[in-house]
Structures are given as C-alpha cells and as structure tokens.
Amino acid sequence: MSPLTTLTPLTVKKPSPARNRLRGGARYAPTLATVGLFIAMFAVGSGMYPSFLSGQVFLNLFIDNTFLIVLAVGMTFVILTGGIDLSVGAVVALSMMVSATLLQQGWNAGAIIVLVLLIGGGLGLLMGLIIQYFDIQPFIVTLAGMFLARGLCYVISLDSIPVTEGFFTGMAQAQIPLPGDLFVSPGVLLALGIVAIAFFVLHHTRFGRTVYAIGGNEHSAMLMGLPVKSTKILVYALSGLCSAVAGILFSFYSLSGYSLAAQGMELDAIAAVVIGGTLLTGGTGYVLGSVVGVLVLGIVQTFIAYDGTLSSWWTKIVIGGLLLVFILLQRLFARKTR
C-alpha cells in the first residue's frame, strides 16, 4: 500500500516540476500495487509450500492462462475507451465448438483457424457498429452478443466434442524448452506476442493514443478531430478477434469443444483488467497491468491447488475480495489526485 500514500500530494498549489513527476508516476501506482501484490503472494506461497518457489510454477501461471491473457488484452482496449465487452466468454466457447466440429468433419486446421478468427472479429465488428451507429450502451449490445454466441454453441451441439486432430494435439503437447530445465507451451509465446503488439499499438500508434483520448473525454476527442467513431468500432472488433484467438488457445489447452465451456470467463477477464489497474471509467491503465492481473488470478488458483483441502470455489471468493479492494483503492486514489 505504501506507493499510494507516498505518491499522492496532499496540498495542491502551483505544481512544481518534482510534483508533476510524482503525479505522472502516480498514474502507474495501481498497476505497481498489483505487481507488489503478486510478488507478495508468491513470497507467501514459497514460505508455506517448499515446492512453490520454482520457475516452473511461475511459468505454469502463463501456460494455464494463455487464453485469459489474450482475452484481457482485448478487454483492456475496450475498457480503456470506457466501454465493456460481455461477449468474450461466449465467443471463446463458440470458437471452440466451431473448431471441434469442423475438425471432426475433416477440415484443414489452418482453414478452421482462419474461419474462427473471421467469425470472432466479425462478431466484434458488428457489435462495434451497433454500439456506434445506434448509440446503444456497450453493456446491452455485448450482452446480446453473448446470448447469440452461446446460443449458437447449443445449436452446434449439446455434447462435448473431443479434438483428436494432429495439429491441435501437437500444440497441446508441445513444450518449448527453456534453460534450467524449464519449459513453456507455444501458446504462451503467442499470447506474449499479442501482449507485445498490444503494448506497441497502445503506446506508439495514433490509434492507441486515440483509445486513451476517448476514455479521457469522448466529446473532447471528437472536437479535437480524432477518428472517434472508427476507433470505437475497431476496439470491439479487436476484442472479438482476441476472443477467437483465446478460443483457439483454449482448444489447444482442453482438446475439446463444449457448449458450456468458458462460462463466466468474460468476468474473469474484466476482473484481471481491473485488478491490473485499468479504471473502468476508461482513459487510464496499461495492458501489462492486465497481464499481471491474470497472473494474480492464476496464483490464487495455484494456492488453492497447493492447499488441497479448500474447495475451488474459494478462488472465486478470493477474486471477489481482491476486486473489491482494488476498486476501492482506485476510488480513494482518484479522489486524492483530483
């Protein structure tokens, strides 16, 4: 908690350069708090369970959550503009169902992946267009999108469809060795690649800066002549695309398609983004923070797995508590810097 108290100036007079630097730094405070929390949890875990402190336990956090990382990336874009995307979990399930069914019918894996990306991106684009041109709240539009995608899953099949195709099973089993007897899955590299691209886009392109500007003040962004409409639409298309990628990654991970899969995953993604320090009102936050947010969620699960006596529902309870704490912290923090 210390970064919060030391970084917020209490008296606001003429800003000195030093204070400005502090205020600039204060933007990172929520994200830094999350990083601190993650390190603390890892340290506590290492103290309680001797085998916790290992590189592979850390890497497994990535391996087990590749899909969530990718979802959180897309969600970060959306939330930065001040919007929300509730459809991502259902789109993940739809992507899995489409892949599993078509693989069973002997389609080529590459063609399926392209098709799934088109479906996810297209669905996102459609929702973006509706949000923009009919001026409807993102909450409602993406809620409708969620029901649509989930409904399509049931139409495809009510049963779990196993995936036995070579490329998918290959990806599921592949291990990329790292020095020190460690390994990651190919999916981790893909997810981290997407994170790197997202970071570049957000901080080094005009599109990315427009995303932040819209979250800061949409009306101003419009009056400044920024392409507000197209950016807002694109953000939902990106989130849809990320959901499709996450669906493919989840297929690699679970080697099946099931219409009830990824229930509530959209809420995990939103939780990760918020715990990672992105304000739900938009305009402030970092994609790297969202990745740390996912890792925090992952480490909570690891804890429960190590403990062995606790029911897995404790994961949800802990995540709920963390979310509440972080939102309260942000609120406090926003009040002090104002």
Partner 1 sequence: MVPVVEMTDIAIGFPGVKALDGVNFRLFPGEVHALMGENGAGKSTLIKALTGVYSIDSGTVTVLGEHKQFSTPAASQAAGISTVYQEVNLCPNLTVEENVLLGREPRRRGSIDWKGVRSRTREVLAELHLDQVDPGSLLSSHSIAVQQLIAIARSVEINAKVLILDEPTSSLDADEVNQLFRVIRDLRDRGVAILFVSHFLEQVYDISDRMTVLRNGKLVGEYMTRDLSRMGLISKMIGREMEALAELDQAPARTRARTDSGVTPFLETRGLGRKGSVSHVDLSVYPGEVVGLAGLLGAGRTEIARLIFGADKADEGSMAIKGASQRIRSPRTAIDLRIGFCSEDRKEEGLIGDLSVRDNLVLAMQASKGWARRIPRRVQDELVAEYIQALDVRPANPDALIRNLSGGNQQKVLLARWLVTHPELLILDEPTRGIDIGAKTQIQKLVSQLAADGMSILFISSELEEVLRVSDRIAVIKDRAMVADINNDDVSVEDVMTVIAGGAQ
Decide: is 316 part of the binding site for partner 1 (CB under 8 A): no
* Piece of 212-220, 236-244, 265-273, 307-315 that binds partner 1 (CB under 8 A): 212-220
CB atoms within 10 A of CB 154: 12
- Rank residues 219 and 335 by Cβ distance to partner 1 and give the closer one: 219
- Rank residues 17 and 106 by Cβ distance to partner 1 and give the closer one: 17
Decide: is 40 part of the binding site for partner 1 (CB under 8 A): no
Residue 183 DSSP SS3: strand
Decide: is 240 part of the binding site for partner 1 (CB under 8 A): no
Left (φ > 0), alpha (ψ -120 to 50) or beta: where does 258 sit?
Answer: beta
Among 41, 125, 172, 222, the residue binding partner 1 under the rule CB under 8 A is 222
* Piece of 128-136, 137-145, 204-212, 236-244 that binds partner 1 (CB under 8 A): 204-212
Handedness of CA 293, 214, 283, 199 (dihedral sign): positive
Decide: is 56 part of the binding site for partner 1 (CB under 8 A): no
Find residue 256's DSSP bridge partners.
162
Whether the Cβ atoms of residue 75 and residue 276 lie closer than 8 Å to each other: no
Identity of the amino acid at 154: Y
Decide: is 331 part of the binding site for partner 1 (CB under 8 A): no
Decide: is 162 part of the binding site for partner 1 (CB under 8 A): no
Find residue 177's DSSP bridge partners.
183
Decide: is 74 part of the binding site for partner 1 (CB under 8 A): no
Q: For residue 236, how many C-alpha atoms fall within 13 Å in the half-sphere facing its CB?
A: 28
- Rank residues 93 and 228 by Cβ distance to partner 1 and give the closer one: 228
With CA atoms as reference, report the closest residue to 124 among 164, 95, 100.
Answer: 95
Binding mask 9-28 for partner 1 (x = CB under 8 A): ------x-x-xxx-xx--x-
Decide: is 6 part of the binding site for partner 1 (CB under 8 A): no
Exposed, middle or buried: residue 179 (CB in 10 Å: 0-12, 13-18, 19+)?
Answer: exposed
Phi then psi dihedrals of residue 178, to 5 deg: -120, 160
- Rank residues 81 and 243 by Cβ distance to partner 1 and give the closer one: 81
- Rank residues 212 and 306 by Cβ distance to partner 1 and give the closer one: 212
- Rank residues 224 and 328 by Cβ distance to partner 1 and give the closer one: 224
Site of tokens 């309260």: 328
- Rank residues 51 and 205 by Cβ distance to partner 1 and give the closer one: 205
| Assigned token pair, 59 | 């890497």
Phi then psi dihedrals of residue 176, to 5 deg: -100, 115
Site of tokens 């679970």: 254
- Write out the binding residues for partner 1, residues 112-131 only, by CB under 8 A: none
Least Å from the CB of residue 19 to partner 1? 8
Among 45, 215, 257, 276, the residue binding partner 1 under the rule CB under 8 A is 215
Least Å from the CB of residue 11 to partner 1? 12
Decide: is 137 part of the binding site for partner 1 (CB under 8 A): no
Quote the strand ranges of the chain, DSSP E.
Answer: 161-162, 176-178, 182-184, 256-257
Decide: is 210 part of the binding site for partner 1 (CB under 8 A): yes
Among 56, 216, 304, 327, the residue binding partner 1 under the rule CB under 8 A is 216
Residue 103: alpha-carbon gap to chain centroid:
27
Query: What is the contact surface with partner 1 in residues (CB under 8 A)?
Result: 15, 17, 19-21, 23-24, 27, 200, 203-206, 209-210, 212-213, 215-217, 219-227, 283-284, 337-338
